[in-house]
Amino acid sequence: MSKINVEGSEISIIAIDDKDYISLTDMVRNIENGLALIEKWLRNKNTIEFLGIWEEMYNPDFNSLEFEGIKNEAGLNRFVLSVKQWVEKTNSIGIVAKAGRYGGTYAHKDIAFEFASWVSPYFKLYLIKEFERLKEEEQKKLGWDIKRNLAKINYRIHTDAIKNNLIPEKLPKEKINFIYANEADILNMALFGMTAKEWRNENPNLKGNIRDYADISQLVCLSNLENLNAVFINEGMKQSNRLEKLNSVAIEQMKILSEAENVKKLK
């Protein structure tokens, strides 16, 4: 669940089948008799027609026959329709009624924006603005998550290559850790020109390690070097030769990455 603040109203957004549904209940919570507005809007003939068109476009299980009956009744003084009735009669997916802690009436964003326009065009515009801001933040976070997961995958490829080719059987754990650290320093030397210990000695007041202070270009290059080093290890290349090749690759890639416009934007 996500939340956005629109003109002092905190509005919940949930995902249903990977689609965004916005709380209509939250939209009218600060309005006197606000909850009654949802059913009043739902009884409007124009609303019924809009919902029917939306459902026919996106819902293959929509009960069109039942919908026609509701549409013919809409607008009459005796016409009454709740969200629950609409969902049960038409098998609607555009509007849902949720129970529990985050309960209330939720609608697909297309429908939620239509409801917001009916309540207040001013409110609708700010709702769209905040919703788009939320989506932009989520995309940025997704980008960082992908980068982090790719780094984990590359790290596994690198450590597996070390394990399968450089670690003898029944080696003590401390010796195994030394080999992993030693190979990590091959990458550090190729990219940063120093080992992790040398960096710590030069920066005694900084927490973490040398890679924690790398910029985007360096992290991208480091990920590529891990893959290359894994290939070189599997090929049986000597460590000294690997370091020389990795350093050459690092120099070339850093030149390219430092000039790439997309990387500059990430920075």
3-state secondary structure 76-99: CCCCCCCHHHHHHHHCCCCEEEEC
- Confidence grade of residue 149 (pLDDT, cut at 50, 70, 90): low
- Tell whether the model's pLDDT for residue 263 goes beyond 50: no
pLDDT tens for 27-84 read 998 888 778 889 889 989 999 999 999 999 999 999 999 999 999 988 787 888 888 9
> ∠ CA 179-227-175 to the nearest 5 degrees?
5
**Looking at residue 4, what is its pLDDT?**
84
pLDDT tens for 87-131 read 999 999 999 988 766 678 999 999 999 999 998 888 889 898 888
- Confidence grade of residue 267 (pLDDT, cut at 50, 70, 90): very low
- Tell whether the model's pLDDT for residue 138 goes beyond 50: yes
Ranges of each domain in the chain: 2-119, 138-266
**Looking at residue 52, what is its pLDDT?**
93
| Alpha-carbon dihedral 120, 122, 124, 129, rounded to 10 degrees | -170
**Looking at residue 266, what is its pLDDT?**
46
Beta pairing class for 95-98 and 2-6: unpaired
**Looking at residue 166, what is its pLDDT?**
54
Specify the DSSP class assigned to residue 208.
Answer: S
What's the pTM? 0.52
Mean pLDDT of 221-233: 87
Pair 243, 186: CB distance under 8 Å:
yes
Q: How far apart are CA 115 and CA 107, in angstroms?
A: 9
